[in-house]
Structure 1
Protein backbone atom coordinates (compact mmCIF):
# COMPACT_ATOMS: atom_id res chain seq x y z
CA UNK A 1 0.00 0.00 0.00
CA UNK A 2 1.10 3.52 -0.65
CA UNK A 3 1.89 5.70 2.31
CA UNK A 4 -0.29 8.71 2.86
CA UNK A 5 2.66 10.94 1.96
CA UNK A 6 2.72 9.51 -1.58
CA UNK A 7 -0.75 10.82 -2.44
CA UNK A 8 -1.47 14.08 -0.60
CA UNK A 9 -5.19 14.39 -1.37
CA UNK A 10 -7.84 13.61 -3.93
CA UNK A 11 -10.88 15.76 -4.66
CA UNK A 12 -14.02 14.04 -5.97
CA UNK A 13 -16.37 16.53 -7.57
CA UNK A 14 -19.26 16.74 -10.00
CA UNK A 15 -17.84 17.25 -13.50
CA UNK A 16 -17.82 20.93 -14.47
CA UNK A 17 -19.42 20.31 -17.89
CA UNK A 18 -22.64 19.98 -15.85
CA UNK A 19 -22.54 23.78 -15.74
CA UNK A 20 -23.51 23.72 -19.42
CA UNK A 21 -26.94 22.54 -18.29
CA UNK A 22 -27.25 25.54 -15.95
CA UNK A 23 -26.27 27.93 -18.73
CA UNK A 24 -28.66 26.30 -21.19
CA UNK A 25 -31.51 26.51 -18.70
CA UNK A 26 -30.80 30.20 -18.15
CA UNK A 27 -30.84 30.86 -21.90
CA UNK A 28 -34.04 28.87 -22.36
CA UNK A 29 -35.73 30.69 -19.45
CA UNK A 30 -35.02 34.13 -20.92
CA UNK A 31 -38.13 34.47 -23.13
CA UNK A 32 -40.40 33.45 -20.26
CA UNK A 33 -38.49 35.42 -17.61
CA UNK A 34 -39.01 38.72 -19.42
CA UNK A 35 -42.63 38.07 -20.40
CA UNK A 36 -44.02 39.52 -17.17
CA UNK A 37 -42.64 41.42 -14.19
CA UNK A 38 -41.38 39.16 -11.42
CA UNK A 39 -40.68 36.16 -13.62
CA UNK A 40 -36.99 37.00 -13.56
CA UNK A 41 -36.96 34.83 -10.43
CA UNK A 42 -36.82 31.88 -12.85
CA UNK A 43 -33.08 32.59 -13.15
CA UNK A 44 -32.70 31.41 -9.56
CA UNK A 45 -33.21 27.77 -10.63
CA UNK A 46 -30.20 27.56 -12.98
CA UNK A 47 -28.15 29.59 -10.50
CA UNK A 48 -29.05 27.17 -7.71
CA UNK A 49 -28.10 24.21 -9.89
CA UNK A 50 -24.74 25.82 -10.71
CA UNK A 51 -24.14 26.43 -6.99
CA UNK A 52 -24.93 22.75 -6.31
CA UNK A 53 -22.47 21.57 -9.00
CA UNK A 54 -19.68 23.84 -7.78
CA UNK A 55 -20.19 23.24 -4.06
CA UNK A 56 -20.71 19.45 -3.72
CA UNK A 57 -17.41 17.61 -3.40
CA UNK A 58 -15.45 15.25 -1.21
CA UNK A 59 -11.78 15.77 -0.37
CA UNK A 60 -9.89 12.76 0.96
CA UNK A 61 -6.35 12.49 2.28
CA UNK A 62 -4.52 10.06 4.53
CA UNK A 63 -5.82 11.73 7.68
CA UNK A 64 -9.40 12.79 7.07
CA UNK A 65 -12.47 13.06 4.85
CA UNK A 66 -13.99 16.47 4.11
CA UNK A 67 -17.53 16.24 2.70
CA UNK A 68 -18.96 19.51 1.36
CA UNK A 69 -22.66 19.61 0.68
CA UNK A 70 -24.71 22.44 -0.76
CA UNK A 71 -24.94 24.35 2.52
CA UNK A 72 -22.43 22.74 4.87
CA UNK A 73 -19.14 21.01 5.44
CA UNK A 74 -18.19 18.10 7.66
CA UNK A 75 -14.69 16.93 8.52
CA UNK A 76 -14.25 13.34 9.74
CA UNK A 77 -11.03 11.63 10.78
CA UNK A 78 -10.37 8.17 9.31
CA UNK A 79 -10.31 6.75 12.83
CA UNK A 80 -14.02 7.66 13.16
CA UNK A 81 -14.98 5.74 9.99
CA UNK A 82 -16.24 2.22 10.65
CA UNK A 83 -17.15 1.23 7.08
CA UNK A 84 -18.03 2.53 3.64
CA UNK A 85 -21.55 1.86 2.39
CA UNK A 86 -21.51 1.15 -1.34
CA UNK A 87 -24.54 2.00 -3.42
CA UNK A 88 -24.23 0.73 -7.01
CA UNK A 89 -25.83 3.77 -8.68
CA UNK A 90 -25.40 6.49 -6.09
CA UNK A 91 -22.94 8.31 -3.91
CA UNK A 92 -21.09 6.34 -1.28
CA UNK A 93 -21.60 6.95 2.42
CA UNK A 94 -19.23 6.57 5.34
CA UNK A 95 -20.61 4.70 8.34
CA UNK A 96 -19.17 6.41 11.39
CA UNK A 97 -18.29 4.93 14.78
CA UNK A 98 -21.61 6.14 16.26
CA UNK A 99 -23.48 4.34 13.39
CA UNK A 100 -24.44 7.62 11.74
CA UNK A 101 -24.03 8.00 7.99
CA UNK A 102 -22.04 10.65 6.16
CA UNK A 103 -22.80 10.97 2.47
CA UNK A 104 -19.68 11.44 0.36
CA UNK A 105 -20.71 13.77 -2.48
CA UNK A 106 -19.49 12.78 -5.96
CA UNK A 107 -17.81 9.55 -4.74
CA UNK A 108 -19.13 6.51 -6.58
CA UNK A 109 -18.40 2.78 -6.46
CA UNK A 110 -15.92 3.15 -9.33
CA UNK A 111 -13.81 5.42 -7.14
CA UNK A 112 -13.16 2.71 -4.51
CA UNK A 113 -9.64 1.84 -5.80
CA UNK A 114 -8.61 5.50 -5.56
CA UNK A 115 -10.25 5.83 -2.15
CA UNK A 116 -8.37 2.73 -1.00
CA UNK A 117 -5.05 4.13 -2.19
CA UNK A 118 -5.53 7.54 -0.59
CA UNK A 119 -6.83 6.13 2.69
CA UNK A 120 -3.73 4.02 3.12
CA UNK A 121 -5.66 0.75 2.94
CA UNK A 122 -8.38 1.66 5.42
CA UNK A 123 -10.90 1.08 2.63
CA UNK A 124 -10.60 -2.26 0.86
CA UNK A 125 -9.84 -2.17 -2.87
CA UNK A 126 -12.41 -4.41 -4.61
CA UNK A 127 -10.24 -4.67 -7.73
CA UNK A 128 -7.18 -5.98 -5.90
CA UNK A 129 -6.26 -9.57 -6.67
CA UNK A 130 -5.64 -11.49 -3.46
CA UNK A 131 -2.44 -13.52 -3.13
CA UNK A 132 -3.61 -17.13 -3.22
CA UNK A 133 -1.18 -19.79 -2.08
CA UNK A 134 -1.60 -23.45 -2.96
CA UNK A 135 -2.41 -25.70 -0.01
CA UNK A 136 0.39 -28.08 0.97
CA UNK A 137 -1.76 -31.20 0.36
CA UNK A 138 -2.73 -30.15 -3.18
CA UNK A 139 -1.63 -32.64 -5.84
CA UNK A 140 1.32 -31.42 -7.83
CA UNK A 141 0.73 -30.80 -11.49
CA UNK A 142 2.87 -32.90 -13.83
CA UNK A 143 5.80 -31.20 -15.52
CA UNK A 144 5.44 -30.47 -19.19
CA UNK A 145 8.08 -33.03 -20.18
CA UNK A 146 6.52 -35.71 -17.98
CA UNK A 147 3.90 -37.83 -19.71
CA UNK A 148 0.83 -38.90 -17.76
CA UNK A 149 0.35 -42.63 -17.12
CA UNK A 150 -1.74 -44.45 -19.75
CA UNK A 151 -5.42 -45.02 -19.01
CA UNK A 152 -6.49 -48.60 -18.28
CA UNK A 153 -9.43 -49.96 -20.16
CA UNK A 154 -11.62 -52.94 -19.23
CA UNK A 155 -11.58 -54.79 -22.53
Structure 2
Protein backbone atom coordinates (compact mmCIF):
# COMPACT_ATOMS: atom_id res chain seq x y z
CA UNK A 1 0.00 0.00 0.00
CA UNK A 2 1.46 3.35 -1.00
CA UNK A 3 0.86 6.72 0.54
CA UNK A 4 -1.27 7.51 -2.50
CA UNK A 5 -3.37 4.48 -1.69
CA UNK A 6 -3.36 4.93 2.09
CA UNK A 7 -6.32 3.39 3.72
CA UNK A 8 -9.60 4.98 2.91
CA UNK A 9 -11.00 3.31 5.97
CA UNK A 10 -12.00 6.59 7.57
CA UNK A 11 -14.61 7.09 4.88
CA UNK A 12 -15.88 3.52 5.19
CA UNK A 13 -15.63 3.33 8.98
CA UNK A 14 -18.41 4.03 11.39
CA UNK A 15 -19.49 7.63 11.86
CA UNK A 16 -18.07 7.89 15.39
CA UNK A 17 -14.59 6.51 14.89
CA UNK A 18 -12.16 6.42 12.01
CA UNK A 19 -9.92 3.43 11.42
CA UNK A 20 -6.13 3.84 11.36
CA UNK A 21 -4.44 5.06 8.19
CA UNK A 22 -1.19 3.40 7.12
CA UNK A 23 1.41 5.19 5.01
CA UNK A 24 4.33 3.31 3.44
CA UNK A 25 7.36 4.84 1.72
CA UNK A 26 7.35 2.13 -0.98
CA UNK A 27 4.42 -0.03 -2.08
CA UNK A 28 4.45 -3.65 -0.99
CA UNK A 29 4.41 -4.65 -4.65
CA UNK A 30 8.16 -3.99 -4.50
CA UNK A 31 8.46 -7.39 -2.84
CA UNK A 32 8.17 -8.79 -6.36
CA UNK A 33 11.53 -7.18 -7.15
CA UNK A 34 13.02 -8.86 -4.07
CA UNK A 35 11.68 -12.17 -5.40
CA UNK A 36 13.43 -11.57 -8.71
CA UNK A 37 16.69 -10.92 -6.85
CA UNK A 38 16.27 -14.26 -5.06
CA UNK A 39 15.70 -15.99 -8.41
CA UNK A 40 18.79 -14.27 -9.82
CA UNK A 41 20.92 -15.38 -6.88
CA UNK A 42 19.75 -19.01 -7.09
CA UNK A 43 22.37 -20.28 -9.58
CA UNK A 44 25.18 -18.92 -7.41
CA UNK A 45 23.62 -19.96 -4.10
CA UNK A 46 23.17 -23.55 -5.24
CA UNK A 47 26.90 -23.92 -5.98
CA UNK A 48 27.27 -25.50 -2.58
CA UNK A 49 29.19 -24.56 0.51
CA UNK A 50 28.58 -21.15 2.09
CA UNK A 51 27.12 -19.68 -1.09
CA UNK A 52 23.62 -20.38 0.22
CA UNK A 53 24.15 -17.43 2.59
CA UNK A 54 23.54 -15.17 -0.42
CA UNK A 55 19.85 -15.87 0.13
CA UNK A 56 20.11 -13.77 3.31
CA UNK A 57 20.87 -10.60 1.31
CA UNK A 58 17.30 -10.08 -0.03
CA UNK A 59 15.93 -10.45 3.49
CA UNK A 60 17.13 -6.94 4.44
CA UNK A 61 15.13 -5.07 1.77
CA UNK A 62 12.17 -7.41 2.29
CA UNK A 63 12.22 -6.70 6.03
CA UNK A 64 12.47 -2.95 5.34
CA UNK A 65 9.52 -3.07 2.93
CA UNK A 66 7.34 -5.00 5.36
CA UNK A 67 8.28 -3.11 8.52
CA UNK A 68 8.71 0.58 7.62
CA UNK A 69 5.49 2.59 7.83
CA UNK A 70 3.57 5.27 9.70
CA UNK A 71 0.25 4.42 11.33
CA UNK A 72 -2.11 7.23 12.32
CA UNK A 73 -5.09 6.63 14.56
CA UNK A 74 -7.13 8.46 17.18
CA UNK A 75 -4.67 7.79 20.01
CA UNK A 76 -1.24 8.46 18.48
CA UNK A 77 1.13 8.56 15.56
CA UNK A 78 3.29 5.42 15.32
CA UNK A 79 6.39 5.37 13.14
CA UNK A 80 7.86 1.91 12.58
CA UNK A 81 11.40 1.77 11.25
CA UNK A 82 13.56 -1.22 10.41
CA UNK A 83 14.93 -1.56 13.96
CA UNK A 84 12.42 0.12 16.22
CA UNK A 85 9.24 2.09 16.65
CA UNK A 86 8.40 5.58 17.85
CA UNK A 87 5.03 6.54 19.27
CA UNK A 88 3.94 10.16 19.56
CA UNK A 89 0.72 10.67 21.48
CA UNK A 90 -1.51 13.48 20.28
CA UNK A 91 -1.06 15.27 23.63
CA UNK A 92 2.73 15.29 23.10
CA UNK A 93 2.47 16.70 19.57
CA UNK A 94 3.09 20.43 19.14
CA UNK A 95 2.66 20.64 15.36
CA UNK A 96 3.34 18.98 12.04
CA UNK A 97 6.14 20.49 9.98
CA UNK A 98 5.90 20.19 6.24
CA UNK A 99 9.41 19.88 4.85
CA UNK A 100 10.21 21.14 1.37
CA UNK A 101 11.66 17.72 0.56
CA UNK A 102 11.13 14.47 2.36
CA UNK A 103 8.49 13.37 4.78
CA UNK A 104 6.23 15.44 6.98
CA UNK A 105 7.71 15.73 10.48
CA UNK A 106 5.93 15.55 13.81
CA UNK A 107 7.27 18.20 16.19
CA UNK A 108 6.98 17.17 19.82
CA UNK A 109 6.22 19.54 22.68
CA UNK A 110 9.80 19.12 23.91
CA UNK A 111 11.16 20.31 20.53
CA UNK A 112 12.19 16.95 19.09
CA UNK A 113 11.15 15.95 15.59
CA UNK A 114 10.05 12.59 14.26
CA UNK A 115 9.89 12.06 10.48
CA UNK A 116 6.58 10.46 9.54
CA UNK A 117 7.83 7.89 7.04
CA UNK A 118 5.62 7.72 3.97
CA UNK A 119 3.55 10.80 4.84
CA UNK A 120 3.83 13.49 2.20
CA UNK A 121 2.18 16.92 2.27
CA UNK A 122 -0.58 15.67 -0.04
CA UNK A 123 -1.48 13.06 2.62
CA UNK A 124 -2.25 15.54 5.40
CA UNK A 125 -5.98 15.36 4.74
CA UNK A 126 -5.96 11.61 5.34
CA UNK A 127 -3.84 12.11 8.46
CA UNK A 128 -6.42 14.58 9.77
CA UNK A 129 -9.23 12.20 8.94
CA UNK A 130 -7.60 9.28 10.77
CA UNK A 131 -6.71 11.46 13.77
CA UNK A 132 -10.40 11.67 14.65
CA UNK A 133 -10.43 15.46 14.70
CA UNK A 134 -7.16 16.02 16.55
CA UNK A 135 -5.74 17.79 13.48
CA UNK A 136 -7.80 20.36 11.63
CA UNK A 137 -7.06 19.84 7.94
CA UNK A 138 -9.37 19.45 4.99
CA UNK A 139 -10.23 15.83 4.29
CA UNK A 140 -9.74 14.44 0.78
CA UNK A 141 -13.49 14.66 0.18
CA UNK A 142 -13.52 18.32 1.25
CA UNK A 143 -10.55 19.08 -1.02
CA UNK A 144 -12.31 17.41 -3.96
CA UNK A 145 -15.49 19.36 -3.24
CA UNK A 146 -13.52 22.62 -3.05
CA UNK A 147 -11.81 21.87 -6.37
CA UNK A 148 -15.15 21.11 -8.01
CA UNK A 149 -16.57 24.35 -6.59
CA UNK A 150 -13.54 26.25 -7.94
CA UNK A 151 -14.09 24.73 -11.41
CA UNK A 152 -17.76 25.74 -11.33
CA UNK A 153 -16.83 29.30 -10.33
CA UNK A 154 -14.27 29.51 -13.15
CA UNK A 155 -16.81 28.22 -15.68
CA UNK A 156 -19.33 30.83 -14.49
CA UNK A 157 -16.72 33.59 -14.80
CA UNK A 158 -15.95 32.47 -18.34
CA UNK A 159 -19.67 32.51 -19.28
CA UNK A 160 -20.05 36.02 -17.86
CA UNK A 161 -16.96 37.22 -19.74
CA UNK A 162 -18.31 35.79 -23.03
CA UNK A 163 -21.71 37.39 -22.40
CA UNK A 164 -20.07 40.77 -21.78
CA UNK A 165 -17.99 40.40 -24.97
CA UNK A 166 -21.15 39.69 -27.00
CA UNK A 167 -22.91 42.67 -25.45
CA UNK A 168 -19.92 44.90 -26.27
CA UNK A 169 -19.85 43.62 -29.85
CA UNK A 170 -23.60 44.17 -30.27
CA UNK A 171 -23.47 47.73 -28.90
CA UNK A 172 -20.40 48.43 -31.03
CA UNK A 173 -22.15 47.09 -34.15
CA UNK A 174 -25.30 49.14 -33.42
CA UNK A 175 -23.20 52.30 -32.99
CA UNK A 176 -21.46 51.71 -36.34
CA UNK A 177 -24.77 51.24 -38.22
CA UNK A 178 -26.26 54.60 -37.11
CA UNK A 179 -25.40 57.49 -39.41
CA UNK A 180 -23.31 60.32 -37.98
CA UNK A 181 -25.15 63.37 -36.68
CA UNK A 182 -22.54 65.83 -37.91
CA UNK A 183 -22.20 66.74 -41.53
CA UNK A 184 -19.03 68.19 -43.01
CA UNK A 185 -18.69 70.64 -45.83
CA UNK A 186 -16.39 70.21 -48.78
CA UNK A 187 -13.66 72.32 -47.22
CA UNK A 188 -13.56 70.15 -44.02
CA UNK A 189 -15.52 72.42 -41.69
CA UNK A 190 -18.23 70.82 -39.69
CA UNK A 191 -21.78 72.08 -39.70
CA UNK A 192 -24.34 71.43 -37.01
Same fold (TM over 0.5): yes
Partner of 1:51: 63
Deviation at 1:93, TM superposition (A): 1.9
Deviation at 1:114, TM superposition (A): 0.4
Q: How does 1:15-94 map to 2 (within 5 A)?
A: 15-35=27-47, 37-94=49-106
Distance 1:23 1:64, change over 3 A: same
Larger gyration radius, structure 1 or structure 2:
2
Deviation at 1:67, TM superposition (A): 1.3
Aligned residues: CA RMSD: 2.9
Number of residue pairs the alignment of both structures matches? 130
Q: TM-score when scaled to structure 2?
A: 0.57
Report runs of 4+ in structure 1 exceeding 6 Å deviation. Answer: none
Which range moves more in the overlay, 65-74 or 115-124? 115-124
Which range moves more in the overlay, 32-41 or 94-103? 32-41
Unaligned runs of 5+ in 2: 1-10, 147-192
Residues 94-120 of structure 1 deviation map (CA, whole Å, 9 limit, x = unaligned): 111111111222222221110122221
Q: TM-score when scaled to structure 1?
A: 0.69
Higher relative contact order, structure no. (Cα contacts within 8 Å, ≥ 6 residues apart): 1
Unaligned runs of 5+ in 1: 130-155
Give distance in 1, aligned partners of 2:118 and 2:96: 14
Partner of 2:164: none
User: Does residue 1:112 correspond to 2:124, yes or no?
Assistant: yes
The answer (yes or no) to whether the contact 1:81–1:97 under 8 Å persists in 2 is yes
